[in-house]
Amino acid sequence: MSEKVSGATNFLNAVAYTPYSEPLQLITAPALAQYNAISYQINLSAFKDTLMEINKNIYFGDNLVLTINWNSFTKCGFTTTALVASTALTGAIAFTVAPSISNLFLYTACETDPTVISQLVTSVNNGTFNLIVPFVYGQKYNASASTSSAMQQRLNLSSGVSLLRIYFGCFNATEDVLTTYQHNDSCITSYNTYMDGLRLQDFTLSTADSTHWLANERNFNESSMLNLKQFKTNFIHIDNWCGAAPCLNDDTILNGLSLESDRTWSIQTVTVSAAYRYYMYYTTQKKLTISRGVITLF
């Protein structure tokens, strides 16, 4: 993914506290009318745990509709009255004029080898084309002010045949403008996660001595989470049953923890007493079967 912002000032290292891993961009008032465009190029493989990241030839035998739902613009960015780096994070307000999206293109690769195409079409027509695909579920918990919190999630075959990963994050309860995606580790003192009542870590994960980073570092290989500083300001815990980091694992190969029997994942946290919003996402694998006129996912 590439980013280009004209006439903007980068505040990534200009303030003591930066709640995001990506650079904050502030376009100053004199330049606003002239430089207000941001350009992105995003590989489809960047949409992890979706069908778009699968690097295989797929034939559906029918027309498909791709729907992209954009979040509200209040969740996509904000502006500020500040013009200097030291106060860039104050006076944050929602966009007064809604941004617009223009020149949106989707490029996909098509197989040109007639032999490969013929084999794939024949496989679908014969009802023998199967593919393991990742599938994502999410849960949101609103926690009132307390010094401890606990939550759990039951999983079984209704969610998929296997469990790949579980992501957990603690977010600001406001979720507006500057705090929309604020999820640093200052809210949590320590925590542990459990599967079927058994603790998944050999030691208590603490934010004070960064043992939470020691337990997670391997999961961020080849990702944008480069170091402890970024991890602390963008805290996400990952329980991973794949044996490889999410960015490196081939999710089209059956892997992970079997869900043939009921499972219960839970987390126990010691927190700073305040209201928070906890997000938990879990990635499972499902079996996609494509035959003539019929697509099933289970």
Average pLDDT over residues 262-268: 97
Mean confidence (pLDDT) of the chain: 83
User: What's the confidence (pLDDT) of residue 28?
Assistant: 46
**Residue 223 CB partners (closer than 8 Å, separation 6+):** 245, 246, 247
Domain assignments of the chain as residue spans, ordered by start? 2-93, 129-297
> Binning pLDDT at 50, 70 and 90, where does residue 137 land?
very high
What DSSP line would sit under the chain, residue for residue? -EEEETTEEE-TTTSS----SSPPEEE-HHHHTT---EEEE--GGGSTTSGGG--S----SS------PPPPGGGT--EES--SGGGTTSSEE--SS-----S----------HHHHHHHHHHHHTT-EEEEEEEEEEEEEEEEEEEEEEEEEEE-TTT-SEEEEEEEEEEESS-SGGGTT-B-GGGEEEEEEEETTEESSSS-EETTTTHHHHHHGGGGTTSS--SHHHHHHB--EEEE-SSS-TTT--TTS--SEE-SS-EEEEEEEEEEEEEEEEEEEEEEEEEEEEETTEEEE-
Are the beta carbons of 204 and 254 closer than 8 angstroms? no
The per-residue pLDDT for range 2-48, each reduced to its tens digit, is 333 333 344 433 444 444 455 444 444 444 445 566 677 888 888 88
User: What's the confidence (pLDDT) of residue 37?
Assistant: 67
User: What's the confidence (pLDDT) of residue 62?
Assistant: 80
- % of the chain at pLDDT higher than 70: 84
pTM above 0.95, yes or no: no
Query: CATH for 129-297, among 1.10.220.10, 2.40.40.20, 3.90.930.12, 2.70.9.20?
Result: 2.70.9.20
Q: Are strands 162-172 and 257-258 parallel, antiparallel or unpaired?
A: antiparallel
Residue 74 has φ and ψ, to the nearest 5°, of -70, -20
Of 119, 106, 118, which Cα lies nearest the Cα of 65?
106
The pairs formed by 112-120 with CB atoms below 8 angstroms and a separation of 24 or more are 116/57, 117/59, 120/57, 120/58, 120/59
Provide the β-strand partners of residue 139: 280
User: What's the confidence (pLDDT) of residue 190?
Assistant: 97
User: What's the confidence (pLDDT) of residue 108?
Assistant: 84
> Binning pLDDT at 50, 70 and 90, where does residue 179 land?
confident
User: What's the confidence (pLDDT) of residue 31?
Assistant: 45
pLDDT-wise least confident of 24-33, 196-205, 245-254: 24-33
Provide the β-strand partners of residue 280: 139, 168
User: What's the confidence (pLDDT) of residue 286?
Assistant: 95
Average pLDDT over residues 291-295: 82
User: What's the confidence (pLDDT) of residue 158?
Assistant: 94
> Binning pLDDT at 50, 70 and 90, where does residue 79 land?
confident
Greater model confidence, 201 or 17: 201
User: What's the confidence (pLDDT) of residue 5?
Assistant: 37
User: What's the confidence (pLDDT) of residue 295?
Assistant: 85
User: What's the confidence (pLDDT) of residue 84?
Assistant: 55
CA pair distance 117, 113, nearest whole angstrom: 6
User: What's the confidence (pLDDT) of residue 87?
Assistant: 54
> Binning pLDDT at 50, 70 and 90, where does residue 89 land?
low
Alpha-carbon torsion (120, 126, 130, 136), positive or negative: positive
